[in-house]
Amino acid sequence: MSARADPYAAPLAAGRLRFLSHLNPLAKLAAPLPAIVLLLFARDLVTPLAFLALGCTVLLVGAPWTRRLGIALGVVVPLGVVAVGLTFSLWTDASRVDDTAALVQLGGWTWYAGALESGFSTALRLAAILVLALIGGMTTTGPDLVRALVQQLRVPYRIGYTALAAFRFVPRFGYELDVIRQAHRVRGAHGGRGPFAAVARWIGYMVPLLASAIRHAERVALAMDARAFGAYPERTERHVVPFRTRDAVFVAMFWAVTFALFWAVRAAWSA
């Protein structure tokens, strides 16, 4: 089973300089929230670009370097900005930006500079929000997030750990589907090409996959009953995820940088 899709996967080894892996998950969720809220109301190009640079800097400095992170920041984000920016610029109402310079004119259709600016403003806002969300998403495991929600925010453990067990079904289904596919290929079942063969293969996957899901659900239910899950209002925790002073310092510093950066951009934009 792939550890990358497994919420129970162990966190990546990180040195002391990669500080994000040593912070409480709630701190990494709370820190970028003001920036994300401010980005929802930004309509210029400079503000999302500044917060996009801030998010990338925090990830490059504080997150363990992985191939996924490199692809996300170096490939997915730039290509996504270009694709979304061009798409939204084509969808922009021309009557609202017809006072700007015309870039392309084909018959009765005109592509204005204001439409291009509006499209890339939206694309940069989405990219900045995504990168800020990756601060917690790339450096937090599922169990630690659930433990932090239960221990710090007092989320009922029945809800937290049940949701985690349900989420755990996703990689389990992927693993079982791979096994079923391999078994069918070994037996030569539903071979051939074309849409009808593909439909026949997927129908053949449904019954064994459903049976495997039922067996797995029964095992999970028995394991939870054996541990008296839900019998008491509270449970002891084997692994504690504390909210330390460094977590509060990180949140305070990130908020301070967020408002300072937003104020500086607003001041420079209005000057």
Contact indicator for 109, 93 with CB cutoff of 8 Å? no
Domain match, 118 and 250 both:
yes
Domain match, 24 and 136 both:
yes
What is the model's pTM?
0.79
Asked if the model's pLDDT at residue 32 lies above 60, the reply is yes
What does the pLDDT read at residue 4?
44
Q: What is the pLDDT of residues 95-147, one digit of tens each?
A: 888 888 888 888 778 888 888 898 999 999 999 999 999 999 999 888 889 88
Question: Which residue bears the tokens 């079942």?
Answer: 189
What does the pLDDT read at residue 269?
74
Domain match, 91 and 182 both:
no
Domain match, 41 and 104 both:
yes
Asked if the model's pLDDT at residue 84 lies above 80, the reply is yes
Domain match, 248 and 132 both:
yes
Kindly state the tokens that stand for 146: 């659930």
Given pLDDT bands bounded at 50, 70 and 90, which one contains residue 5?
very low
Q: What is the pLDDT of residues 152-194, one digit of tens each?
A: 988 888 888 888 888 778 888 888 888 888 887 787 766 667 6
Domain match, 135 and 153 both:
no
Domain match, 123 and 25 both:
yes
d(CA 59, CA 54): 9
Domain match, 45 and 114 both:
yes
Among 3-7, 10-14, 210-214, the minimum mean pLDDT is found in: 3-7
Which residues make Cβ contacts (< 8 Å) with residue 78, sequence separation at least 6? Answer: none
In a domain, 177, yes or no: yes
Q: Which domain holds residue 160?
A: 146-227
Contact indicator for 144, 241 with CB cutoff of 8 Å? yes
Domain match, 49 and 35 both:
yes
Q: Is 93 left (phi over 0), alpha (psi -120 to 50) or beta?
A: beta
Q: What is the pLDDT of residues 38-57, one digit of tens each?
A: 999 988 899 999 999 999 99
In a domain, 103, yes or no: yes
In a domain, 11, yes or no: no
Q: What is the pLDDT of residues 202-258, one digit of tens each?
A: 887 888 888 888 888 888 888 888 878 777 777 777 788 899 999 999 999 999 999
What does the pLDDT read at residue 271?
63
In a domain, 6, yes or no: no
CA atoms within 13 A on the CB side of 266: 10
Domain match, 63 and 100 both:
yes
Question: Which residue bears the tokens 């640079």?
Answer: 53
In a domain, 1, yes or no: no
Q: Can you say whether the dihedral through the CA atoms of 126, 127, 132, 133 is positive or negative?
A: positive
Count of domains for the chain: 2
